[in-house]
Amino acid sequence: MSATLSKIPVLDLKPEIALIRDELMAAIEGVLDSTQFIMGPNVKAFEQEVAEYMGVKHAVALNSGTDALILGCSALGLKPGDEVITTPFTFFATGEAISHFHATPVFVDIDPTTYNLDLNQVEARITEKTTMILPVHLYGHAVDMDPLLALAKKHNLKVLEDCAQSFGSTYKGKKTGAIGEGGAFSFFPSKNLGAFGDGGMFTTNDDSYADTVRMLRVHGARKKYFNETVGVNSRLDELQAAILRVKFRYIDEWNAGRRRAANYYTDALNKIDGVIPPSAADYTDHVYHQYTIRILGGKRDAVQQKLAEEGIGSFVYYPVALHKLPVYAEKPHHPLPVSDQLSTEVLSLPIWPTIEESVLDRVTKVIANAVS
């Protein structure tokens, strides 16, 4: 790497924090002054603001996206022995939430252009044990929900959307998380709307699902000290809620910044043989939680190495599809060739809302040289 060039991380949170530092500090001080750290006014207000933004009746703030999936599965009635159709090309928590109930994740292969569930393959995997579909709006690109909902209706299946990577993303104008029976969001710090610690949220239009998740997040009690069932402690901290409320005011602007950067990358990378930039279907407003390209010809690892030598961060999401992880590898599954292939080809490039064009130029130049 040239001594004059600075390093480029895969994600730089410092610019966005710098832009709103005063507002963040005021919000944090407000919580310190109130000394109300659990289930205070910020949690309540954040839930209302997100529900309104999503166009859903209920948003329930939780401790993580993983808990949003687990408590969501619980509310939707997942039971031991059930089968749940999902994607193997995701973060482990998606499958983990299903397995938590001693239910079976049934992995269906993905579409190589959207990286999301291949809906043409779903129906063949539905059995009499299937009770739910758990689609993931991977990298911020919405799943094609109309055909998925049609299948769910035909087979009487519930749909829980994994929206951990898709805050603000839309499907035909509707926000992801407002389409199935429930949506599960993560506020992990690197997410498009990220806290300064763990956080999550369950969204739904159904009063009884919302009520169940609210009850489960406080030890299965609707009324304090009158526990009705075994729940968990999964409250979002008041401090995190206050921070998220500040960042939430900027989410559309920041998602637009990511989209601008993605379009700029795509214009440049389209000209390079052996590189396939991500595409966004007409039905989605992609929010590019990740900008993930495919590098053909077995060159992905060499390109990543070259980027690293030039001081440029990149990440492989995901190097091992879920069905190949030690936890699932012994279990039977159908062939999943696209997921297997893409796990050797994908590379996520630096992206954040205010990333400069000079940075994008540097990244694309290194890639062009590395694949030639």
Binding site for ligand PLP (CB under 6 A): 64-66, 90-91, 93-94, 136, 162, 164-165, 186, 188, 198, 200
Nearest approach, Cβ of residue 309 and ligand PLP (Å): 28
Alpha-helical regions (H) of the chain = 14-19, 21-34, 41-54, 65-75, 92-99, 145-154, 207-216, 238-248, 251-269, 300-309, 326-329, 337-345, 357-371
Nearest approach, Cβ of residue 166 and ligand PLP (Å): 9
Q: Which is nearer to ligand PLP, 106 or 360 (CB)?
A: 106
Give SS3 for 208. Answer: helix
Q: Which is nearer to ligand PLP, 290 or 364 (CB)?
A: 290
How far is residue 3's CA from residue 1's CA, in Å, rounded to a whole number? 6
Number of H helices and number of E strands within the chain? 13, 15
Structure tokens at 269: 């990378």
Nearest approach, Cβ of residue 162 and ligand PLP (Å): 5
Could you give the C-alpha distances from 44 to 27, 60, 152, 177, in angstroms and in order?
Answer: 15, 9, 32, 19
Q: Which is nearer to ligand PLP, 88 or 277 (CB)?
A: 88
Nearest approach, Cβ of residue 105 and ligand PLP (Å): 13
Which position's Cβ is nearest ligand PLP? 65
How far is residue 178's CA from residue 181's CA, in Å, rounded to a whole number? 8
Q: Which is nearer to ligand PLP, 176 or 304 (CB)?
A: 176
How wide is the angle at C-alpha 230 spanned by C-alphas 224 and 231, nearest 5°? 70
Q: Which is nearer to ligand PLP, 95 or 350 (CB)?
A: 95
Q: Which is nearer to ligand PLP, 176 or 364 (CB)?
A: 176
Q: Which is nearer to ligand PLP, 64 or 204 (CB)?
A: 64
Nearest approach, Cβ of residue 175 and ligand PLP (Å): 17
Nearest approach, Cβ of residue 156 and ligand PLP (Å): 25
Nearest approach, Cβ of residue 64 and ligand PLP (Å): 4
Report CA dihedral (88, 94, 96, 99) to the nearest 10 degrees.
-80
Q: Which of 241, 217, 256, 228 is nearest to 353 (CA)?
A: 256
Parallel, antiparallel or unpaired: strands 346-349 and 58-62: unpaired
Q: Answer whether the bond into residue 318 is a cis peptide, omega within 30°.
A: yes
